[in-house]
Chains A and B, each alone.
Chain A
Amino acid sequence: NAGVTQTPKFRILKIGQSMTLQCTQDMNHNYMYWYRQDPGMGLKLIYYSVGAGITDKGEVPNGYNVSRSTTEDFPLRLELAAPSQTSVYFCASSPDGSEAFFGQGTRLTVV
């Protein structure tokens, strides 16, 4: 019963580096989401996908990219990391938008 799995759990990046946050789900869900969580700001939607091959921007997409080549995987790419991208990132999936299942999060620090 893996559910939604995010890797890595922690990462420190230097300014200007790039990295990919991995997210995979084994529930055959169509919907997948990426959020960032900052203290006092709640969760902000970065990108979401309603099925393989379909992605769309959320509230705060700048500085990020996603792809959805399979139902299971929804990686989030950070290009040219900036200190403003220091955050906790959560991936989630949903069968139809009626309930989201969350991963345990990735804590990213950009220095």
Chain B
Amino acid sequence: AQSVTQLDSQVPVFEEAPVELRCNYSSSVSVYLFWYVQYPNQGLQLLLKYLSGSTLVKSINGFEAEFNKSQTSFHLRKPSVHISDTAEYFCAVSDWKFQGAQKLVFGQGTRLTINP
């Protein structure tokens, strides 16, 4: 069964500094990988996803993540953060089998706090 580990429960950074949120997964088959963001008192929204092809994927608001199969990682990065990036971020994995994607499993979440 697949599983996801987010290595940091909280990450405080200063505005305009770079940030990396770490995510490792385990799975015995091909995977789809996702990062979701949750703002206070809201549901989750998709930030970016890796399904196939280029291992570097980007979001419209400057985040990017790289699929590293050998290290089973999918770390999220942003070169310069803004106050509005303050949120909780979740990494997720879905096994892919010939009959399609299977259950979608999430990590524990990383709370990103941006300080002015």
Q: A35-B106, A40-B9 are in contact. Are A98 and B43 (CB under 8 A)?
A: no
How many residues from B make CB contacts under 8 Å with A? 26
B62 interface hit (Cβ, 8 Å): no
Give the contact stretch, choosing among A43-51, A63-71, A75-83: A43-51
A62 CA to B51 CA, complexed, in Å:
31
Instruction: Work out how many contacts link A and B, with CB atoms closer than 8 A.
Output: 68
Q: What is the predominant secondary structure among interface residues of chain B facing chain A?
A: strand
Q: What is the predominant secondary structure among interface residues of chain A facing chain B?
A: strand
Q: A97-B32, A98-B51 are in contact. Are A42 and B90 (CB under 8 A)?
A: yes
> Do residues B109 and A42 form an inter-chain contact, with CB atoms below 8 A?
yes
Extra contacts besides A44-B106, A99-B34 (10): CB < 8 Å? A31-B101, A40-B108, A43-B90, A59-B105, A92-B104, A94-B101, A97-B94, A97-B104, A98-B49, A99-B46
